[in-house]
A and B are shown apart, each in its own frame.
Chain A
Amino acid sequence: NAGVTQTPKFQVLKTGQSMTLQCAQDMNHNSMYWYRQDPGMGLRLIYYSASEGTTDKGEVPNGYNVSRLNKREFSLRLESAAPSQTSVYFCASSWNYGYTFGSGTRLTVV
């Protein structure tokens, strides 16, 4: 029982490159979330998915897209990375209330 697994753990991108952050959970949770964490700004919600096949914008969705491929997987895509997207990205899943977070992806855009 791995919980929430994120890949990769670290990534360096050049401005304008694209990439997909992967997230998978094995707890049979319906809801999944993507947050970004920046110093002094806490965790901000990018996108979330209430169930398979549905996604909605959070507080800071610009520059990102998501896919809820199935109940287990929720991916975050940066189509054209910008230095402002340098951050630590956390995926989380929940059932009812408590979140389980993944270990995070540290992304640097140069």
Chain B
Amino acid sequence: GENVEQHPSTLSVQEGDSAVIKCTYSDSASNYFPWYKQELGKRPQLIIDIRSNVGEKKDQRIAVTLNKTAKHFSLHITETQPEDSAVYFCAASKDYGGATNKLIFGTGTLLAVQP
């Protein structure tokens, strides 16, 4: 089955710096790649996603890139702020557009933005 690896497990940056989190997936049939942010004690929330027919997507300070050949995708956060501190999860699915959308998640990255 699908396996998603995520690195690094922890990341500490200074406020204003950029942060990059990387994920690799094993199933070449995967066609949907979301990123979720989870603040301490809260539920995961979708922050950005990308489909396999797109190489890059940007939303303000957040961007995601996808390399289908290498089977990896990355989350880029620019001009980091203390409120960006959270655990970030990548995920992959090969069911996009089907009856369900089973997501297989990475193990998470704890991002700490130091003021």
Contacts and interface: CB of A to CB of B under 8 A. Distances in A.
Given A42-B106, A43-B89, A59-B1, A94 B101 contact: yes
Contacts of B89: 42-43
Interface in A2-22: none
Contact of B99 (A50, A97, A98, A103): A50
Give the secondary structure class of B's interface. Answer: loop
A71 B6 CA distance: 34
Contacts, number: 64
User: Which of B34, B36, B43 has the most CB atoms of chain A within a 10 A radius of its CB?
Assistant: B43
Contacts of A44: 105
Interface residues of B, number: 27
Given A42-B105, A43-B89, A45-B103, A99 B97 contact: no
Interface in A23-52: 30-31, 33, 35, 40-45, 48, 50-51
Interface residues on A, range: 20 to 34
Contacts of A45: 102-104
27 contacts: A30-B99, A31-B100, A33-B103, A35-B105, A40-B9, A41-B107, A42-B106, A43-B103, A45-B103, A48-B100, A50-B99, A59-B1, A90-B44, A94-B100, A97-B32, A97-B96, A97-B97, A97-B101, A98-B34, A98-B49, A99-B34, A99-B36, A99-B44, A101-B44, A102-B43, A103-B43, A104-B43
